[in-house]
Amino acid sequence: MARAKKSTRSRSTRAASSRKPDAIALLKADHRQVEDWFSQFEKARDDDRKQRLATKICNALKVHTTIEEEILYPAFLEATDETDLHHEAEVEHDGARKLIAEIEASSPEDDYFDAKVTVLSEMIKHHVKEEEQPGGMFAKARSSDMDLDALGEQLASRKEQLESEADDSDDSPVPRGQRSRQQPGRMARTR
Ligand SMILES: [Fe+2]
Ligand SMILES: [Fe+2]
């Protein structure tokens, strides 16, 4: 697992010259985006729309959990020694990752597809609450000496890299739902 770089000391210069989201703002924006797609999925009626939304949700969650695990979580553990919070978050990611693999290997025609997406939504809702609630990881990260501006930049650039890798592997003319049935679980991390 990649380690976050040590804090830099150019925080005030950076803050003055740009208004990029810091680590917590970037991750919370990801949470809001995925919540919006889950609520659109709940209302969706046709299979194409469900498939498109499920694909967007799974891809976004894979990128989000990967950047948290590679960059934010190790920096958080190093800065705070909050082992329980850190380990529980990783275990919750692993649970989500298994369900994401099942959704990717499935399709809206399958009886259990909607149930899997609904359960994933509930798991993510719980996990996001743990991260964002008072006394949760994000609050503790804010009150630590973590350089959230520098970490925000690292998260943004790794996110961009992972998204462009996903786009590159998406060039096949075969529709995603059909392809993923043959190649279940293109996960960001080996299991
Ligand atoms: Fe998160
Ligand atoms: Fe997380």
Query: What are 99-110's pLDDT values in tens digits?
Result: 999 999 999 999
In this predicted structure, the answer to whether residue 16 has a pLDDT above a threshold of 80 is no
Whose atoms come closest to the Cα of 91: which ligand? 2
Q: Ligand 1: distance of its center to the CA of 79 in Å?
A: 18
Flag whether pLDDT at 39 surpasses 60. yes
More confidently predicted of 51 and 169 = 51
The CA 127 to ligand 1 mean position distance, Å, reads: 7
Segment 109-162, tens digit of pLDDT: 999 999 999 999 999 999 999 999 999 999 999 999 999 999 999 999 999 999
Q: How far is the CA of 32 from the centre of ligand 2 (A)?
A: 13
Q: What is the mean pLDDT of residues 24-43?
A: 98
**Model pTM score:** 0.81
Residues sharing a CB contact under 8 Å with residue 186, sequence separation 6 or more, in sequence order: 104, 169, 180
* Greater pLDDT, 142 or 172: 142
pLDDT category of residue 167 using cuts at 50, 70 and 90:
confident
Q: What is the mean pLDDT of residues 36-57?
A: 98
Ligand 2 geometric centre to CA of 43 (Å): 25
Please tell me the distance between residue 131's alpha carbon and the centre of ligand 1 in angstroms. 7
Residue 111 alpha carbon to ligand 2 centre in Å: 28
State the pLDDT at residue 3: 45
Q: From the CA of 77, how far away is ligand 2's center (Å)? A: 13
Q: Are the beta carbons of 80 and 70 closer than 8 angstroms?
A: no
Q: What is the pLDDT of residue 11?
A: 47
Centroid of ligand 2 to alpha carbon of 164 (angstroms): 21
For ligand 2, the distance from its centroid to the CA atom of residue 68, given in whole angstroms, is 6
Q: Looking at the predicted structure, is the pLDDT value of residue 190 above 50? A: no
Q: How far is the CA of 128 from the centre of ligand 2 (A)?
A: 7
* Residues with Cβ–ion distance below 5 A, ligand 1: 27, 131
Task: Give the pLDDT band of residue 170 (cuts 50, 70, 90).
Answer: low
